[in-house]
Amino acid sequence: MSKGPAIHTRDVRRVFESRKGFFFNELVRTEALRGVDLDVADGEIFGLLGPNGAGKTTFTKILSTLLIPTSGTVEVLGMDVVKDAVRLRPRIGLVLGGERGLYNRISARENLRYFADLYGVPMERRDRRIQEVIDRVDLTSAADRRVEEFSRGMKQKLHLARGILHGPEVLFLDEPTIGLDPKSARETRKLIRSLVADGVTIFLTTHYMFEAEELCERIAVLSRGRIVARDTVAGLRRLVGGDRTIEVEAYGFDEGEVARLKHIAGVSRIVSEEFGPKLRLTLRVGTTDLSLDTIRNQLTNHAELTVRERRTSLEDVYLDLVEEEAT
């Protein structure tokens, strides 16, 4: 039997209206999602990438039945997330993560037991299953300690354990490594990879390109409530301008210089950023003909000038995309 997509959305919009001001008399309208179309295949690990405020959490909550979209079609495992929410809930898992969301006064094991009961994990398998997920997220020695004693990384592991406890077919992870130290973040990513091996469809959001690159087969970039790119990692690499990236650093550039660089044949865009006391220009170059000396020749009169080429990273592509959308 061939399965349809695990996630299917068309033109999803979500507007938030909130009241501000001392008398709540000022109505603020935020369009968090402005028409999102997405398909995620069964068994895939899909990454939704975007900066803060892009709408990642909003979209994740809609997919996991926690928020009703203002309009649009949203189906998970072939079920409508609003109409079939009750039937869908036992088949999906959601990990929002963070410091909150756990009963702090009781142990990790008791937290899991409570949710195992609410999800109806079969009685005869419950305690074994709880031990299984505890071992899996590597909380074995801390399982009977109160959650309030847990570090941020341990809490994240417990969030993950709860997310997979009932054996969901689709798992939603909203910024699973945010706020974690590098070691915990690495362990979390390892765990996520191992889940895909089990056949679970994973939808994760992140604002780190390298994380999406490391984990995901396909990536969509969300910016201000719209998907601005959607491709495989390799496809995204080819997406913006050429494949070459040239960095130029000096103690400041005048506008004339930047304009001259822009006019060199093959230079598709220039991003400037402060880099300590220096200024760095990052050039995207679409031709192999351009030599670094051509650039140096445009920039005389600099006491300290560095011109070097590096591999275009996915991070560059991502920043380009998000910036393009913003301007």
Ligand X SMILES: Nc1ncnc2c1ncn2[C@@H]1O[C@H](COP(=O)(O)OP(=O)(O)O)[C@@H](O)[C@H]1O
**Site residues, another protein (CB under 8 A):** 14, 16, 58, 61, 64-68, 86, 89-92, 94, 96, 98, 100-106, 110, 113-123, 125, 129, 146, 162, 165-167, 169
Amino acid identity for residue 67 in this structure: L
Residue 327 found at the interface with ligand X (CB under 6 A) = no
Please provide the DSSP assignment of 177-196 as one string.
Answer: TTT--HHHHHHHHHHHHHHH
Please provide the DSSP assignment of 41-75 as one string.
Answer: -TT-EEEEE--TTSSHHHHHHHHTTSS--SEEEEE
Identify residues 44-83 at the interface with Mg ion (CB under 5 A): 56-57
Nearest distance, CB of residue 61 and ligand X, angstroms = 8
Alpha helices in the chain (DSSP H): 56-63, 85-88, 108-119, 123-136, 152-164, 182-197, 209-215, 233-237, 255-263, 292-298, 314-326
Mask for 54-93, x = binds ligand X (CB under 6 A): xxxxx-----------------------------------
> 57 or 107, CB closer to Mg ion?
57
CA separation for the pair 314, 209 (Å, rounded): 7
Nearest distance, CB of residue 54 and ligand X, angstroms = 4
Nearest distance, CB of residue 203 and ligand X, angstroms = 13
Nearest distance, CB of residue 156 and ligand X, angstroms = 17
> 114 or 251, CB closer to another protein?
114
Nearest distance, CB of residue 206 and ligand X, angstroms = 10
Nearest distance, CB of residue 317 and ligand X, angstroms = 18
Identify residues 206-245 at the interface with ligand X (CB under 6 A): none
> 54 or 142, CB closer to Mg ion?
54
The option from Mg ion, ligand X, another protein, none interacting with 162 (CB < 5 to 8 A, set by class) reads another protein
The option from Mg ion, another protein, ligand X, none interacting with 30 (CB < 5 to 8 A, set by class) reads ligand X
Nearest distance, CB of residue 100 and another protein, angstroms = 3
> 34 or 91, CB closer to another protein?
91
The option from Mg ion, another protein, ligand X, none interacting with 122 (CB < 5 to 8 A, set by class) reads another protein
Q: Which residues contact 161 (CB under 8 A, 6 or more apart)?
A: 108, 112, 133, 134, 136, 137, 139
CA separation for the pair 273, 277 (Å, rounded): 11
The option from Mg ion, ligand X, another protein, none interacting with 208 (CB < 5 to 8 A, set by class) reads none
CA separation for the pair 84, 110 (Å, rounded): 29
Identify residues 4-43 at the interface with ligand X (CB under 6 A): 16, 18, 30, 32
CA dihedral defined by 102, 107, 108, 110, rounded to 10 degrees?
A: -90
Nearest distance, CB of residue 177 and ligand X, angstroms = 14
Tell me whether residue 158 is exposed, middle or buried, using C-beta atoms within 10 angstroms of its C-beta: 0 to 12, 13 to 18, 19 or more: buried
Total residues binding ligand X (CB under 6 A): 12
Q: Which residues contact 78 (CB under 8 A, 6 or more apart)?
A: 4, 8
CB-based burial, 230-246: b 16+ in 10 Å, e otherwise: beebeebbebbbbebbb
Measured CA distances, 139 to 107, 270, 309 (Å): 11, 47, 45
Q: What is the layout of strands, in order, in the sheet containing 92-95?
A: 92-95, 170-174, 201-206, 45-49, 218-223, 226-232
Total residues binding Mg ion (CB under 5 A): 2
Candidate ranges 50-58, 87-95, 243-251, 281-289; the one touching ligand X (CB under 6 A) = 50-58
Residues of this chain that bind ligand X (CB under 6 A): 16, 18, 30, 32, 50, 52-58
Residues of this chain that bind Mg ion (CB under 5 A): 56-57
